[in-house]
């Protein structure tokens, strides 16, 4: 699991995976590895991808799901991009492009899922 704040992610695993949820299901000893990834910094993306590739494990699923919206003032990423497009698009694209060759070379099926906001809900059944 990739996240900007490793401690917060570990707490989330404890509260959301190890603890009983809807339907009474819980995973007492989940096999979840938490690694740091800050989409605000393309160097962090490079580091994360290089570590993931080097560890030799296969990648079954990449879910691009992080995002920010409606910042109160203009902010920039570490590389100087406007923060919303940098985090929501450039960071995900860079990560995907770094991991894609490894995923394509695998002999097992894998999937990349890129999520968006809930904005699609405003279109109702027309989508």
Q: Where are the domains of the chain?
A: 59-126
- In the block, residue with structure tokens 């968006």: 116
- Reading the chain (127 residues) residue by residue, the pLDDT tens digits are 899 999 999 998 888 888 887 788 888 888 888 999 999 999 999 999 999 999 989 999 999 987 888 899 999 999 999 999 999 999 999 999 999 999 999 999 999 999 877 666 766 665 4
Helices marked H in the chain? 6-13, 42-54, 83-85, 91-105
How many CA atoms, within 13 angstroms, populate the side-chain half-sphere of residue 57?
Answer: 9
Q: What percent of the chain has pLDDT over 90?
A: 65
pLDDT of residue 111: 97
Q: Please state the pTM of the whole predicted model.
A: 0.83
């Amino acid at each position: 699991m990739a996240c900007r704040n490793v401690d917060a992610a570990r707490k989330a695993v404890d509260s959301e995976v190890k603890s009983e949820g809807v339907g009474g299901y819980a995973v007492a000893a989940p096999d979840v590895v938490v690694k740091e990834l800050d989409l605000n910094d393309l160097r962090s993306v490079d580091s994360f991808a290089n570590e993931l590739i080097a560890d030799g494990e296969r990648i079954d699923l990449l879910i691009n799901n992080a995002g920010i919206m409606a910042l109160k003032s203009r902010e920039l990423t570490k590389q100087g991009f406007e923060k919303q497009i940098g985090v929501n698009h450039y960071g995900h694209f860079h990560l995907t492009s770094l991991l894609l060759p490894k995923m394509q070379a695998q002999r097992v099926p894998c999937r990349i899922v890129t999520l968006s906001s809930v904005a699609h809900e405003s279109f109702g059944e027309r989508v």
